[in-house]
Amino acid sequence: MEFDRSIKIAPSILAADFADFGREIEAVEATGADWIHVDVMDGHFVPNITFGPQVVKAIRKHVRTVMDVHLMIAPVDPYIDAFAQAGADILTAHLEAGPHTHRTLQAVRGAGMKSGLALNPGTPVAAAAPLLDLCDLVCVMTVNPGFGGQAFIETQVGQIRELRAMIGDRNIHVEVDGGVDLRTAGLVAGAGADVLVAGSAVFKGGTAAEPKAYGENIRALRDAANNAQGD
């Protein structure tokens, strides 16, 4: 996984057909997805439950790009090894999920994965400053975590811009998760994001059997982001 700041579209399988994850992943990758984003929720840290390490392990064999696993759980540390064994390439934990985030990021890297740090909308990006040297990715939540299909929180654009300036020339991806569509893709890319997580904006209009719309959606998001980066 070599680092570069080109725009990456990371479809969230939270918006895919849960009964057909394997084919859905293969379809979005074949039509242009750069990463696959996997949202793990526990019904405790966020008000929703999705799936755990066993499902991540089961879909790993279908992922040919990068498996980007986003933990919306607390605590995190007891499950790090399980997600490493399940095949996560990147494991992202929330800063708000526990009191020892520095230790968590160390443990993620120690387990052989890239480390990600996610920030809720109510958390100032300055809180990530002491942790950046342990991060390979910082995810700015542009909705309150827990459910797909929520409205984009406009004030987070300023947070993305502040984070990007804080990162400087360090090899750290700026990811955005929540409400990404053709309009907001340009806003977040223009502010400095290079990894765009998108659920319904990718999966709308298509199926694993008829994935043409997936490719069209991915290209449109990428074009909107690239055009904003060039502004």
Catalytic residue among 89, 177, 181, 194: 177
**How far is Cα 96 from Cα 119, in angstroms, rounded to an integer?**
7
Our measurement of the distance from residue 183's CA atom to the centroid of its chain's CA atoms, rounded to an integer in Å, reads 18
Q: Is 39 a catalytic residue?
A: yes
Tokens of 156: 């987070």
Q: Are 157 and 187 in contact (CB under 8 A)?
A: yes
Q: Which of 34, 39, 42, 181 is catalytic?
A: 39
Catalytic site includes residue 194: no
Retrieve residue 87's tokens. 């095949």
12 Rama sector, left if φ>0, alpha if ψ -120 to 50, beta otherwise: beta
Return the sign of the alpha-carbon dihedral for residues 149, 150, 153, 156.
negative
SS3 24: helix
Residues noted as catalytic:
39, 177
